[in-house]
Structure formats: structure tokens, C-alpha cells
Amino acid sequence: MPSVEEVKTYLGASVEQAEAASLGIRGVVERLDESLARLQLTTVGSVHPSAAQALVRLEAARAQLLEAQTLLHGAIDAANQYRTVI
């Protein structure tokens, strides 16, 4: 059974990895924002269903990444709270 200090160390490492993942998600969201802006400019005035579908799917991907980032922040906060309690 790990000691309390070992558990705290493992929690700290997990938090660091989750924070790195969150930064990665932020970078992906920024790239998606650029992609969305470019696609919107490119497809202005287009009524083709494929163009609309591409925009909808990119926006959905962005929304889900933001949701994942929110969940990650909640997990980080909970892990940090647990680390202070033990």
C-alpha cells in the first residue's frame, strides 16, 4: 500500500499530465477556430449541402473539445482537492 506522500506524488503527476492534455486541447481548438474561419470565408454564399455539413461538423467537434476541456478542469480541481485533504 502506498504511503500518503506517494499518493500525493502520484496525484501531482496525474494533475500535471491532465494540465498538459488541457493545453493540447486548447491548441487544437485554436486550429479548429482557424479552420472554421477559413471554411466560412471560402463557402460564403454556397448552398451546397457538403459545405454546410463540413461547417456543422467542425463546430460540433469544437464544442465537444471545449466540453472535454471543461471536464478535464473539473477532474484537475477534484484531484487537487483530494491531494489537500489527504
- Report domain extents, the chain: 4-85
Q: What is the pLDDT of residue 35?
A: 97
4-85: which CATH number, 1.20.58, 1.10.3470, 1.20.5, 1.10.490?
A: 1.20.5
pLDDT at 61: 98
Cα–Cα distance measured from residue 37 to residue 40, given in angstroms and rounded to the nearest whole number: 5
Tell me the residue type at 78.
A
CB 43, CB 51: distance < 8 Å: yes
Convert the pLDDT of each residue in 10-48 to its tens digit.
999 999 999 999 999 999 999 999 999 999 999 999 999
Stretch 69-86: mean pLDDT, rounded? 97
